[in-house]
Amino acid sequence: MAIYINEHTNVLIQGITGNQGTFHARQMVKYGTRIVAGVSPGKGGKDVDGIPVYDTVAAAAEEHRLDASILFIPAPFAKDAAFEAIAAGIKVLVMLPEHIPVHDAMAIMAYAKSNGTVVVGPNTFGLVSSGKCKIGIMPNQFFIPGDIGVVSRSGTLCYEIVGNLTAAGYGTSTVVGLGGDRVVGLNFIEVLAEMEKDAGTKAIVMVGEIGGSAEEEAAAFIKGHIKKPVIAYLAGKSAPPGKRMGHAGAIIERGKGTFEGKVQALNAAGVPVAELPFQVPELVAAALKK
Amino acid sequence: MAIYINEHTNVLIQGITGNQGTFHARQMVKYGTRIVAGVSPGKGGKDVDGIPVYDTVAAAAEEHRLDASILFIPAPFAKDAAFEAIAAGIKVLVMLPEHIPVHDAMAIMAYAKSNGTVVVGPNTFGLVSSGKCKIGIMPNQFFIPGDIGVVSRSGTLCYEIVGNLTAAGYGTSTVVGLGGDRVVGLNFIEVLAEMEKDAGTKAIVMVGEIGGSAEEEAAAFIKGHIKKPVIAYLAGKSAPPGKRMGHAGAIIERGKGTFEGKVQALNAAGVPVAELPFQVPELVAAALKK
Amino acid sequence: MKLFEYMGKELFARYGIPVPEGGVAATAAEAAEIAGKIGSVVVKSQILSGKRGKAGGIGFTEDPQEAAELASRMLGSELRGFTVDKVLVEQKLKIDREFYLALTVDGAARKPVILASAFGGMDIEDVPEEHMVRMHLDVTIGLQPFVAREVVRRLGVTGDVARQISAILSGLYKMFVELDAELVEINPLVISGDKVIAADAKVTIDDDALFRHKDLPVVEERTEAEKKAHELGLSYVELDGDIAVMANGAGITMATLDLIQYYGGKPANFLDAGGGAGVEPTAKALELLLSKNPKAILINIFGGITRCDDVANAFAYVKQNIGIPVPVVIRLVGTNEDKGREILRENGIEAYKFMHEAAAKAVEIATGGRN
Amino acid sequence: MKLFEYMGKELFARYGIPVPEGGVAATAAEAAEIAGKIGSVVVKSQILSGKRGKAGGIGFTEDPQEAAELASRMLGSELRGFTVDKVLVEQKLKIDREFYLALTVDGAARKPVILASAFGGMDIEDVPEEHMVRMHLDVTIGLQPFVAREVVRRLGVTGDVARQISAILSGLYKMFVELDAELVEINPLVISGDKVIAADAKVTIDDDALFRHKDLPVVEERTEAEKKAHELGLSYVELDGDIAVMANGAGITMATLDLIQYYGGKPANFLDAGGGAGVEPTAKALELLLSKNPKAILINIFGGITRCDDVANAFAYVKQNIGIPVPVVIRLVGTNEDKGREILRENGIEAYKFMHEAAAKAVEIATGGRN
């Protein structure tokens, strides 16, 4: 079992002929992902290791069922590429690029919502249903099948946690990188709700960080809706207060966003928070024993 | 039984303090419609025959559950009012005004679709679930409860048909005026599908006219999806060819839109077409006997 | 509101869509002057209709004097039912290929639609579906670059021509939205050497949106009577029969004409008085009908937002103040019906209940019972 | 990118938002000249921070000479960590009421949000929730008139003031969208007699969108080292410790700092080398760390898009060509890990597998084993 993507998911790569696109196409194929087509304007008719390349997503969609797409597209052109994927009816869109203008991100999310598309990212490593389908840039070797769901705001830190889980013998069901930008497609709550329903997930690890109120909102949701054990790790305990967005930032956050506040909210929801990355597997083990 | 609206539907009137708004508020109340609130900017706090008036839809929504709204708003301001209703979560929006710019209508339909709002009109008399709820400007006395569903592109012609049905002893379940503009919210197919499911509807009368391809598309749909008897009346047999929208109009219609073509398509779908309005009840009687 | 070709091309230029060099002329002398500056030119009659070439409304020349003669022959002439007031004199293009490109409203889809074809030109309507590109647009995001990429891909063009067509499409969409157009059409869109140029322009602005485009030129297509009706807020079309018709609502008016024809009569007009017209506009509408000297007048009112007493009062007003010298048949039901019937009765008219009865009666009067 | 108040007000004026009469001055003489034209003025230090009044960065006068003195005192002075380069000299407003009005991005809602209050001014952050108007906007339709009507209703204003605030809101939204702003904030928005005027301006432009706003002024907030890091595509913040840190990814960098603190050390900086940096930028990043003379360097790489061999090669390059005079602790796992470890081994470094081990080692070195 898995959420969002699985062994039947047909994946498109937008920007497949670029360096990153080609490199990660190969990595994903190696992982077992069903990469069925690529798009690079002007390169239609070519192929990358046998993966056919099209000029437009619509052209690819004429030849293949496309369930998901991943973007290897420079930030200034990412909005157009995202719109193209959504307009073509793609239901899971993974947006790797960082530095996408926030107004573009808002426009993408609004359009995705209208069209029922799940957006992962931007500024994410992607997502992986371990052993079945990897759509992203994470190193293959750490994502081995198991029953721990992982959802993270940050990328490399998530590999770190998954690496610790793997080392302790815990495989993962689905691992989702929410993305590090202010406006991203999925939030903790939506992923937690899916993982709660997923028969392949026994426990959930949340990797959060300071700033914003996503962890506090997740805590409130866990209290009411999640019965599976949830373990958290939060980065940023030692960080100095970040730059503020005028009064408006303070008004929106209303005191949320600090490390202590997040730990408190999560603990109150019954979620233990690991202080060091390597403690995560221990807390998972303890929670699963209960 | 009824479709879209029923005796529990709470109705808002936007533009309630204008002449038309006030006149038809009274008519609707007289018919039995649950008019719970009105909106007229700058008139918040007043009332119309005891119906409380608010400055904005949001203000009305703070005090009342609002299921549907009807607009008595001049065409240049109708888009804003429609957006306001949709943004406030109203699920059935009846747009009476005619002469709404077609680009405004397209914008309204796109926004309504994203938000799951059903738009009736623009340029419609509204809709009525006979004996339960009337949201529109049709004369009360002709809409008596019964089991004939009526769906019409034109207004007064629909009263005419309903008047003929009434005179022949046939009451109506729900009567829907699709609206006379090029871009309207509901089409024949959507309403036919609802009426097919509605236990309160035994037969369906379609009132169409020349131009466009709505009747042809409806005919194709009826063939595959509608088991209840459908009777049609079409206006425009004697009309000279209308003004054309460049080559583009011809390319879009591809020969559809003529009286003869529509009759042929409907007949092929098993739908008898009345030549004169007063023949409709006879055809209904014949169909119900089968 | 349809715009003349030369107006459409002025707007094209404003939106960065390349058009041939040229100018509009109202006299032969002006035409010669423009032609003198350009050299090889085409002189095109400016009327609100296509197929001008076949009707002799388009001429080619390299000689300014001959351009003046062409203009002189066209100006003031009748062409496809229109009088030619102006000619467009512009550079004759070397035509390598003709494309078709248009944006219009697809009512069924409730969306704008791009129509394009690599087989543009006079016979575009006969181009088979597989050579026609159709792409609907989502107004919430507008025309994004990916749409243009898909259009040029389906047109089978690449490189610089693709780039130019994409840019033209982008300008065309901007114009379509900003000017509230119902149609912007380029046929043909000409590939001339390495340039892509709009050789014709059909632009129709949404009448209902003209209130926010006061800066646009006003083009009047209506006859005098239709114009008057429009000012009264009525939808009016002249026909060639003898039974004047007034009804309320486009559908019921059409159905009334159908009934007149069914009973063997001929309607003199289509007049939809719309919904909710008061006493004065209704009276004015009646006067309009009278001005065409019909043999009979048929008024068919099913009152919803229209109130029967208003219609009856309008009739009474016109009868008493202006006089109605032709027989009038009235069908009146709906809102305030009883009041309306009473007023008519006071004015010597018994209103019908059913429209087919009223139509049959009007035909009987107009044909002198011959039907 | 934060803009200075005077820049924000110039943009406000361009978008039709009323601002006080005035001008910006870089010298006392300029300040006197502007004050002379206006009369009663306020002189405001232009720094990228609020709370200038409490810090003495704002003064009032009716005398041009005194305005010059105020400006002279402010210019070049240090205020809340910034040097004052310019002062804004503008008309002193009669303040009847102070409102708050802002547009920003609500990440949780993924939408723009309007924040407004009838209780604007210095203590806006303490205004209770029930006096704060929050309205999210749907970018697919933008800011429609009904939104402005609802905002002024909730603010409790009517009539002409409501009309003016609606117009300001509309201009503010246009600016927010067209300039890719993350924040446009007016505090206070002043009711002065029958006029509504923006008495302050806080505008922040999205750094990631600056590529499409080449016409905007460039405001540099970064230190020299931060600027250099930015040019290398690195996210860098100076801190006051002695262990230089480089990691790849903001989250793991934060976690690395947390570990250093956990083991009793002090990080010298936050340096997120991002994903997928090649040999050269990584080498440059290392040079940057060296330039601050740390006691130890901790490199923590979990390779995804970043390749371990690239990092190792960068280390080797710097070591061989520039020299690394401080101890370096490296943790290296992920993509091309074996290659990377091999290269490091050739350069005399055994990379750690776990980040907490590496962090503990770095702290041990930096503190001389005192922890």
Write out pLDDT tens, residues D166-189. 999 999 999 999 999 999 999 999
**Contact between C149 and A114 using a beta-carbon 8 Å cutoff:** no
**3-state helix vs strand vs coil in chain C, percent to 5:** 40, 25, 35
Check whether residue C61 and residue C127 sit in a common domain: no
Q: How far is C139 from chain D (nearest CA, A)?
A: 9
In a domain, D301, yes or no: yes
Q: Residue with structure tokens 């730990």?
A: A263
Task: State the Cα–Cα distance between residues C56 and C46, nearest whole angstrom.
Answer: 12
The pLDDT of residue C371 is above 60: no
**Contact between C140 and A56 using a beta-carbon 8 Å cutoff:** no
Chains in contact with D, counting 3 or more C-beta pairs less than 8 Å apart as contact: A, B, C
User: Is the CB of B176 inside 8 Å of chain C's CB atoms?
Assistant: no
Percentage of chain D beyond pLDDT 70 is 99
**Contact between D250 and A182 using a beta-carbon 8 Å cutoff:** no
Mean pLDDT across chain C: 92
**3-state helix vs strand vs coil in chain B, percent to 5:** 40, 20, 40
User: Is the CB of C107 inside 8 Å of chain B's CB atoms?
Assistant: yes
User: Which stretches within D179-278 are classed as H helix?
Assistant: 224-231, 250-262
The CATH number for D323's domain is: 3.40.50.261
Task: State the Cα–Cα distance between residues C268 and A54, nearest whole angstrom.
Answer: 60
Task: State the Cα–Cα distance between residues C70 and A104, nearest whole angstrom.
Answer: 55
User: Is the CB of B42 inside 8 Å of chain C's CB atoms?
Assistant: no
- Of these residues, D100, D173, D236, D263, which one is catalytic? D100
User: Is the CB of B11 inside 8 Å of chain C's CB atoms?
Assistant: no
Q: How far is C141 from chain A (nearest CA, A)?
A: 8
**Contact between A249 and D104 using a beta-carbon 8 Å cutoff:** yes
Check whether residue C71 and residue C114 sit in a common domain: no
Average pLDDT value for residue range D278-292: 87
Closest chain D CA to residue C141:
D140
**Contact between A153 and D251 using a beta-carbon 8 Å cutoff:** yes
Task: Please calculate the CA angle A94-A99-A100 and round it to the nearest 5 degrees.
Answer: 60
In a domain, A278, yes or no: yes
Number of Cβ within 10 Å of residue A278's Cβ equals: 18
Q: Tell me the three state secondary structure of residue C253.
A: helix
CB D363 within 8 A of CB D242: no
Mean pLDDT across chain D: 92
The pLDDT of residue A242 is above 70: no
In a domain, D149, yes or no: yes
Tokens of B277: 């309005």
Q: Tell me the three state secondary structure of residue A282.
A: helix
Instruction: Walk along chain B (290 residues) in steps of 10 and give the mean pLDDT of each run.
Output: 94 96 96 98 96 98 98 97 98 96 98 97 96 95 95 92 94 96 96 98 95 92 97 88 62 77 96 93 93
User: Is the CB of B83 inside 8 Å of chain D's CB atoms?
Assistant: yes
In a domain, D229, yes or no: yes
D292 secondary structure, DSSP code: T
Q: Count of alpha carbons within 13 Å of D295, Cβ hemisphere only?
A: 16
Burial (CB < 10 A; 0-12, 13-18, 19+), residue C160, is exposed
Q: If residue B174 lies in a helix (H) or strand (E), which one and from where to where? A: strand B172-177
Burial (CB < 10 A; 0-12, 13-18, 19+), residue C82, is middle
Q: Which residues of chain A have a CB within 8 Å of the CB of C158? A: 42
Closest chain D CA to residue C138:
D140
**Contact between A59 and C150 using a beta-carbon 8 Å cutoff:** yes
Task: State the Cα–Cα distance between residues C101 and C124, nearest whole angstrom.
Answer: 10
In a domain, C146, yes or no: yes
In a domain, A181, yes or no: yes
Check whether residue B160 and residue B282 sit in a common domain: yes
Q: Which of C65, C91, C117 is the last residue of a domain?
A: C91
The pLDDT of residue A89 is above 60: yes
**Contact between C107 and B183 using a beta-carbon 8 Å cutoff:** yes
User: Is the CB of D146 inside 8 Å of chain B's CB atoms?
Assistant: yes
User: Is the CB of D136 inside 8 Å of chain B's CB atoms?
Assistant: no
Q: Count of alpha carbons within 13 Å of C108, Cβ hemisphere only?
A: 15
In a domain, B131, yes or no: no
Check whether residue A143 and residue A259 sit in a common domain: yes
Number of Cβ within 10 Å of residue C354's Cβ equals: 17
Q: How many CB pairs under 8 A join B and C?
A: 178
Check whether residue C174 and residue C248 sit in a common domain: no
Percentage of chain B beyond pLDDT 90 is 85
The CATH number for A33's domain is: 3.40.50.720
User: Which stretches within chain B are classed as H helix?
Assistant: 19-31, 57-63, 75-87, 102-115, 156-167, 188-197, 214-225, 246-253, 259-268, 280-289
Q: Which residues of chain B have a CB within 8 Å of the CB of A114? A: 113-114
Closest chain D CA to residue A242:
D237
User: Is the CB of A19 inside 8 Å of chain D's CB atoms?
Assistant: no
CA dihedral B165, B168, B169, B174 (to 10 degrees): 0
Check whether residue C355 and residue C303 sit in a common domain: yes
Q: pLDDT category, C240, cuts 50, 70, 90?
A: confident
B34-39: strand order across its sheet: B47-48, B51-54, B34-39, B10-14, B68-71, B92-95, B118-120
Catalytic residues of C: 100, 185
pLDDT in tens, D48-106: 887 788 888 999 999 999 999 999 999 999 888 788 999 999 999 999 999 999 999 99
Q: Tell me the three state secondary structure of residue C132.
A: strand
Average pLDDT value for residue range D294-310: 90
pLDDT in tens, A181-218: 999 999 999 999 999 999 999 999 999 998 888 999 99
User: Is the CB of C144 inside 8 Å of chain A's CB atoms?
Assistant: yes
Check whether residue D198 and residue D281 sit in a common domain: no
In a domain, D4, yes or no: no
User: Is the CB of D138 inside 8 Å of chain A's CB atoms?
Assistant: yes
Q: What is the pLDDT of residue D22?
A: 96
Own/partner contacts of C345-354, CB < 8 Å, gap of 24 or more, are C346/C316, C347/C312, C347/C315, C347/C316, C347/C319, C347/C320, C349/C315, C354/B278
Report the relative pairing of strands D78-79 and D82-83 from DSSP bridges. antiparallel
Q: Residue with structure tokens 């840039």?
A: A137
The pLDDT of residue D200 is above 80: yes
CB C25 within 8 A of CB C57: no
**What CA–CA distances, in Å, run from A193 to A140, C87, D47?**
26, 69, 46
Q: Which residues of chain D have a CB within 8 Å of the CB of C141? A: 140
Task: State the Cα–Cα distance between residues A239 and A253, nearest whole angstrom.
Answer: 18
pLDDT in tens, C91-139: 999 999 999 999 999 999 999 999 999 999 888 888 998 999 999 999 9
Average pLDDT value for residue range D277-286: 84
The CATH number for A257's domain is: 3.40.50.261
D212 secondary structure, DSSP code: G
Q: What is the pLDDT of residue A246?
A: 61
Check whether residue B205 and residue B252 sit in a common domain: yes
In a domain, A126, yes or no: no
Mean pLDDT across chain A: 94
In a domain, C6, yes or no: no
Check whether residue A160 and residue A285 sit in a common domain: yes
Q: Which domain holds residue A201?
A: 138-289
pLDDT in tens, D149-172: 999 999 999 999 999 999 999 999
**Contact between D204 and A245 using a beta-carbon 8 Å cutoff:** yes
Average pLDDT value for residue range A39-67: 97
Q: What is the pLDDT of residue C227?
A: 80
Chain C interface disruption, residue of D137, D138, D140, most C CBs within 10 A: D140
Q: Which of C185, C212, C239 is the last residue of a domain?
A: C212
pLDDT in tens, A106-116: 999 999 999 99
The CATH number for C32's domain is: 3.30.1490.20
In a domain, A127, yes or no: no
Q: Which domain holds residue C36?
A: 21-91
Q: pLDDT category, D220, cuts 50, 70, 90?
A: confident
The total domain count for chain B is 2
Check whether residue B199 and residue B235 sit in a common domain: yes
In a domain, C50, yes or no: yes
Check whether residue B147 and residue B245 sit in a common domain: yes
Q: Compute the Cα dihedral for A249, A252, A253, A254 and give only its sign.
A: positive
Q: Residue with structure tokens 């042809």?
A: B216
Check whether residue A208 and residue A250 sit in a common domain: yes
Chain C interface disruption, residue of A55, A108, A115, most C CBs within 10 A: A55
Q: What is the pLDDT of residue A200?
A: 96
User: Is the CB of C140 inside 8 Å of chain D's CB atoms?
Assistant: yes
Average pLDDT value for residue range C143-170: 97
Amino acid at C318: V
Task: State the Cα–Cα distance between residues A184 and A179, nearest whole angstrom.
Answer: 6
pLDDT in tens, B222-274: 999 999 999 999 998 887 665 545 677 766 676 678 899 999 999 999 999 99
**How big is chain A by its Cα radius of gyration, in Å?**
19
Chain C interface disruption, residue of A56, A63, A90, A109, most C CBs within 10 A: A56
Q: Which residues of chain A have a CB within 8 Å of the CB of C150? A: 56, 58-59
Top-confidence range, A135-144, D125-134, D144-153? D144-153
Q: Tell me the three state secondary structure of residue A240.
A: coil
Q: Which residues of chain A have a CB within 8 Å of the CB of B114? A: 113-114
Task: State the Cα–Cα distance between residues D343 and D309, nearest whole angstrom.
Answer: 7
Check whether residue D148 and residue D181 sit in a common domain: yes
In a domain, A4, yes or no: no
Q: How far is C138 from chain D (nearest CA, A)?
A: 10
Check whether residue A166 and residue A220 sit in a common domain: yes
Q: Which of C212, C241, C261 is the last residue of a domain?
A: C212
The total domain count for chain C is 3
Pick the closest to residue D324 from D298, D354, D276, D286 (CA basis). Answer: D286
Amino acid at D352: Y
pLDDT in tens, C286-299: 888 998 899 999 99
Task: State the Cα–Cα distance between residues C210 and C101, nearest whole angstrom.
Answer: 24
Q: Give the lowest-confidence range in A89-98, A231-240, B14-23, B227-236.
A: A231-240
